[in-house]
Structures are given as C-alpha cells and as structure tokens.
C-alpha cells in the first residue's frame, strides 16, 4: 500500500520554505526519500520534519 507523507522545512525565523507531500510504501522508504529530497534541495542544515499519514514523526532536525 502506498501512503502519503509530508515533508516541511523552515528558515530560522519560522518561514516555511518547503511544504511537500510525497508517496512511499512504508516509513523506512519515506525516511530515505525525505532525506534525499532535503539533500537535493540543500535543506539538510535547515529545520525540517517529515511525518507519516498517522502523524508519526519520521525525520526531525532543528
């Protein structure tokens, strides 16, 4: 089953700079894909979070 995950990134002042939904088959795949998307967009040093459809926090960085 494919689920929709949410990836969000912020500037230090709280401004949202990424708000993207993507699909993955399970949480581990979503974590990998989320990290890849953040890396491609050069956002790994920003504050970010990735959440599952049930609200589980999969990735988080401040």
Is the confidence at residue 3, as pLDDT, over 90?
yes
pLDDT at 1: 87
Q: What is the pLDDT of residues 15-53, one digit of tens each?
A: 999 999 999 999 999 999 999 999 999 999 999 999 999
Per-residue pLDDT band at 7 (split at 50, 70, 90): very high
- Which strand (E) or helix (H) includes residue 24? strand 16-24
Q: pLDDT value at position 24?
A: 98
DSSP state of 11: -
Q: What is the pTM of this model?
A: 0.92
**Cα–Cα nearest to 62, from 2, 8, 4, 19:** 8
Domain limits, the chain: 3-61
């Amino acid at each position: 089953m494919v689920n929709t995950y949410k990836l969000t990134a912020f500037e230090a002042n709280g401004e949202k700079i990424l708000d993207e939904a993507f699909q993955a088959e399970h949480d581990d795949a979503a974590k990998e894909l989320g990290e890849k998307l953040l890396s491609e967009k050069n956002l790994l040093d920003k504050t970010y979070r990735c959440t599952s459809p049930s609200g589980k926090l999969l990735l988080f960085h401040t």
